[in-house]
Structure 1
Amino acid sequence: MSLDLALSLIGILYGIVLILAMFVKNSRITDAMRVDKLIFPASASESTRPLNLVFGIIVLGYYTYMLLRDFFGITF
């Protein structure tokens, strides 16, 4: 497995975890990976939780595009 493939798969998994962090509450995995807790550590709450959805879609889309472009030759 090449490093590019491994990074793409890790990025896709992280994007999925960020999207799940919007909908799954009180989970150790999703709470540890939340972007809003990294940006606003003192004021992270339910109102900042939608940031995870936005960042998750961006990360998932980017790494999916990279996987399709690098390994399957698909360009948009």
Structure 2
Amino acid sequence: MYVLHLYISSTLFRFFKNLITLCISALDILSVSFRPLFALCCQMRALKLIIFAAENPNRVYSNLTLTFNKTKV
């Protein structure tokens, strides 16, 4: 039962992630002439970054550490 729950959760997560990517692509095309759509597109990109951070916490942490170490005096 637990495995089925994990499978359904991961499938729904991938579905929404792909849906967000599709929305970003559509908004990119439409946002050329509409400023409010451009703002919505930026919000969707931020949401996609949050999802990436949730999927890959170690990778994001190591990238932040590298960036911080490069900027340290």
Normalization by structure 1: what TM-score? 0.51
Please state if 1:71 is matched with 2:72.
no
Q: Mind listing any 5+ residue stretches in structure 1 that lack a counterpart?
A: 24-45
For the residues of structure 2 that align with 1:64 and 1:54, how far apart are their CA atoms? Answer: 16
Structure 1 residue runs of 4 or more that deviate by more than 6 Å after TM superposition: none
Q: Of the two, which has the highest radius of gyration?
A: 2
Identity %, equivalent residues: 6
CA 1:12–1:58 in structure 2 vs 1: closer, same or farther (change >3 Å)? same
**1:6-25 to 2 correspondence within 5 Å?**
6-23=15-32
RMSD of equivalent CA atoms: 2.2
Return the structure number with greater helix share. Answer: 2
Normalization by structure 2: what TM-score? 0.53
Instruction: Report which structure shows greater RCO (CA 8 Å, sep ≥6).
Output: 1
